[in-house]
Chain A
């Protein structure tokens, strides 16, 4: 007996929404068992992980803070993923964006530059975009895989960051720590929610989500990108510009990542640090797929992942969970999501030997 997957004719809209919810429930059940096996207070751990972030205004605002870069980057990446352009190097574009945005405050630590903040934001976004476009040019000119190029360029970006922070951009009064000077006040983003660290970058991320939704669902450019992803030969047949779509995908991905990088240094960090990213560029890939590459879904998935980040921090303290257990929970989430998603798009069929479903 052999089992095989057969694509369902239609997947209902209800099921598309039910899948992530089911994945969340299954992940909770599985982690309850796992935490119990570890001899930890399973209920308390789950409470800390999923509910505590909602209990105080401050912890909730921390969720939104964490969500900002994830949402921005994931929206940019999802556009490319829909077009089968796999930008894996948002991490590098994020770092380059942070570096470009930091240049002005590092050079003028007294803040004596007009329009300092807007210039930083633009510099960060354009920097990230330019960095991603290197991969786009290599792909369209020489056929180099953008997956490998963007991934490896992330490693280069990390080294550029190290060089700057250990050398020319090191804060002379920073006790030899590898970090830049603290930015002046006019280089920092305004706070969106009073009394918290959440800046207006969160509003940028929501606006970017709305724009992504408009483009992907209602604009011809988004239609072309989706066509290129679903059926590249149909895009060629219709005469859609294939290199142009690679350039656009990577440009938007890099732009969003660069903007996120700029928002971090001009936001909660207030300076350029080696740990500027803490893996947002990679986590955003998971966020994009968890959201079904759909702009609205990504808003939900970035929120969920951020809750788990913040809840995970408190669970490691209050329930003495190992940090790895939080990562395992994220792993559960992705695995169960893939399972439930597959089961709504496909059904399992028992195949007769050598059988084929052809009519």
Chain B
């Protein structure tokens, strides 16, 4: 891609290495003023490292960064900000106990009253309405993102970097964000849009640089290519296909939640209000919604890590289990994959074999309370082979494994318990595309064997792919069940932002 004027930002031959990992190698990238440029790649492809170098958080080992044609050296983010580069991170950096304007004032010079006025003006101009006096912990995720963007805009950047901005947004908020970005583009601002969501990139961006394994594997105009083409560039082969979900008659109710209310222990927890849900054998029920709307509280109440107010609020395999601990619920045929792998689903400092023992000790791994090492190893080896866990062996420390591999191990371990009811929280968070497809396939298999699955996820596409019935959890309230086949992403999105009819 060439042009008369020098590109606003140009990277040539940029490489970065962390220890044994070559995060970026020989990256060339050119961003023109007034363009929305996508950086596309799987989890672990090197997108975040690249952005950190552009934003001055990290320095390249080799290669040059040119700004308006002149070489620049940035050693910290304030250098980048001085040039006119702003960045909105995937995980927000706002203080929850401060108001919007106080958060802004921490980064932008000026009196708070003036800033509040400017926030309002910018908000109206770009569709980023937010109350400057509101406390951040009361804001929705979409609103928090607006605060982050406004904070960047107040520094009047020429280039705005957005790292996976839509991963936390319901579909309606994505529409609003895109409108905002287009109006910024019309003002001549350049935008670097980092994502792995192909349809969004095809809709929004006019250039795309594709990364795979730390290298550039393609420079394309995303509007001219199909999502399948882009995916091929991104993962190096065709997207793995899932078997079409077989619809089968659902069996008896295995897990039933009725009138479950729960008050949070801390200020920032979410109260659950009168939740009702039925889960039948041979069925996958999905709970959509942005994390932080009671997902963690609900999962803990179902697993037994938190106790319900009354025993009859949760029924598992016909027994009232609301006041039972996790071990008793597991004895009834319950298994659980939590969203945090390290420190909850697995002990990072222990070997995989010892991590098998964590929940699979019931499967003949103990004799008189003493650990049968042979049984422990055999189980772990089976799990590694059966679930394609890439690891040197059962002795490998869990903490040294990649997120996707550890997730495959944990899901494998729980599936090998032959559960009648399994709760899976965020099954593919931070997992690469290939492993995610494998995980979903195993969940479908488990359902076809007659187990009942409850899946809590932020990824709508994932839920539509595997679920028979969907609920939406928002502000501690669970929607009525929706048949996945007769529901659209828009419907779910409406529930997610509380705008349902």
Contacts and interface: CB of A to CB of B under 8 A. Distances in A.
Interface of A: 9-10, 214, 218-221, 223, 226-227, 230-231, 233-234, 236-241, 352-359
Given A239-B327, A357-B18, A359-B18, A227 B347 contact: yes
Contact of B325 (A218, A223, A239, A358): A239
B221 interface: no
Interface in B302-359: 303-305, 325-330, 336, 338, 340, 342-350, 354, 357-359
Given A354-B77, A359-B23, A238 B18 contact: no
A236 B347 contact: no
Interface string B351-376: 00010011101000010011100000
Q: Which 4 pairs of residues, A with B, have the shortest CB-CB distance?
A: A239-B327, A239-B326, A233-B344, A231-B347
Contacts of B345: 234, 237
Contacts of B1: none
A324 to B, nearest CB: 38
Contacts of A226: 350
B397 interface: yes
Nearest to A355: B58
Given A10-B397, A220-B361, A237 B338 contact: yes
B340 A233 contact: yes
A128 B58 CA distance: 56
B21 interface: yes
A72 B58 CA distance: 52
A237 B336 contact: yes
Contacts of B371: 218-220, 223
A282 to B, nearest CB: 28
A355 B57 contact: yes
Contact of B326 (A9, A230, A236): A236
Nearest to A214: B370
Nearest to B306: A236
Nearest to B23: A359
B48 interface: yes
Interface in B44-103: 44, 48-49, 52, 57-59, 75-77
A359 B49 contact: yes
B75 to A, nearest CB: 6
B471 to A, nearest CB: 23
B400 interface: yes
Contacts of B348: 230-231
A238 B370 contact: no
Interface in B4-34: 18, 21, 23
A239 B348 CA distance: 18
B148 to A, nearest CB: 18
Contacts of A353: 75-76
B69 to A, nearest CB: 26
A235 to B, nearest CB: 9
21 contacts: A10-B400, A220-B361, A220-B369, A223-B357, A223-B371, A226-B350, A231-B342, A233-B340, A234-B346, A234-B358, A237-B326, A237-B344, A237-B358, A237-B359, A238-B359, A239-B326, A239-B329, A358-B48, A359-B18, A359-B21, A359-B49
Contacts of B330: 239
Given A359-B48, A359-B49, 11 more contacts: A219-B371, A230-B348, A231-B347, A234-B346, A236-B326, A237-B358, A238-B326, A239-B326, A239-B327, A354-B57, A355-B57
Nearest to B77: A354
B49 A220 contact: no
Contact of A352 (B23, B58, B340): B58
B274 to A, nearest CB: 26
Given A354-B57, A354-B76, A359-B18, A240 B343 contact: no
Contacts of A241: 325, 327
Contacts of A236: 305, 326, 344
A238 B23 CA distance: 36
Contacts of B400: 9-10
A218 B76 contact: no
Interface string B149-163: 000000000000000
B29 to A, nearest CB: 19
A17 B103 CA distance: 51
A218 B343 CA distance: 22
Contacts of A231: 342-344, 346-349
A237 B305 contact: yes
Contact of B304 (A227, A233, A239, A355): A239
Contacts of B370: 214, 218-220
Contact of A230 (B23, B58, B349, B361): B349
